[in-house]
Amino acid sequence: MPNENGTWIMYGVEWDDPECLHTVDDVIEYINEIGFLPLFKNEIPGFSLEERTVPEYWWSGDMEVDPWEWREIIARRGEVAYGKFFDKKAGFISKEWLPYFANYRRDGYDFDSLWEDGKASRRQKKIMDLFEENEELYSNEIKKLAGFGKGGEKGFDGTITDLQMKTYLTVKDFRQRKNKQGEAYGWPIAIYATSENLFGYDHVRSRYKENPSDSKEAIADHIKDIYPIATEKQIQKIIK
């Protein structure tokens, strides 16, 4: 979704195009078929949900046809992972391919070991500590409880994005906040959980036995298989 002369341009297909994904079930099936998929257009032509859906339906608010609404449904179902996984931008990873990304992006570390070896920031540590006692948290709760905001820690968005890029955190759902009377209000916001909580400890770490570089190579080779036109430079940018 590039910005051209101050205007956001959506790329996609017509409803009757053979490559068009018409329903959220179509999207989940497609992600499981190809393994992983960015949400928006990127350097690799055709490698996004945006380019396989009807542009006019985005942000229509119709959950039957709006891909922006679909991402909420997909996160909620828990069949594939959703988060900022590609060049710090949103996308989806199938359960099958999540262990490859976890092993490569984490360099074989669980978070505690990452912290002990001095490879995690204090800000990341403050956020991850919250999930020792909480299975899920609203993004605004994380920000408050971890001490970000006015007079506190800076860089919340960047920190939560880095934790998603390393697959330590995944978007579990989108929900409205509730007031003191228990009434929902406002736009739905992201609910986070650890990938291990959502997809199982043993599964997420099932590739830890192999070299992280081998996992990276498997991801890159898979992109070459499904998108032969992709250059090495394009592939490395999307998976780095």
As a whole number of Å, the CA-based R_g of the chain is: 18
| Helix/strand/coil for 170 | strand
Within the chain, which residues score under 50 in pLDDT? Answer: 3-5
Within the chain, residue ranges assigned H as helices are 24-34, 67-77, 98-106, 111-116, 122-130, 139-145, 156-165, 195-199, 201-204, 212-226, 232-239
Give the amino acid at 73. Answer: I
pLDDT digits (tens, 9 = 90+) for 142-160: 999 999 988 888 999 999 9
Tokens for 115? 């912290």
| Helix/strand/coil for 123 | helix
pLDDT of residue 1: 53
CA distance 119 to 20: 42
Angle CA 177–180–184, to nearest 5: 30
pLDDT digits (tens, 9 = 90+) for 32-68: 999 999 999 999 999 999 999 999 999 999 999 999 9
pLDDT of residue 146: 96
pLDDT of residue 9: 81
pLDDT of residue 6: 53
pLDDT of residue 179: 84
Tokens for 77? 């179902």
Half-sphere exposure of 27 (CA within 13 A, CB side): 34
Give the amino acid at 202. Answer: D
Q: Smallest Cα–Cα separation from 75: which of 92, 62, 89?
A: 92
Query: pTM score, two decimals?
Result: 0.93
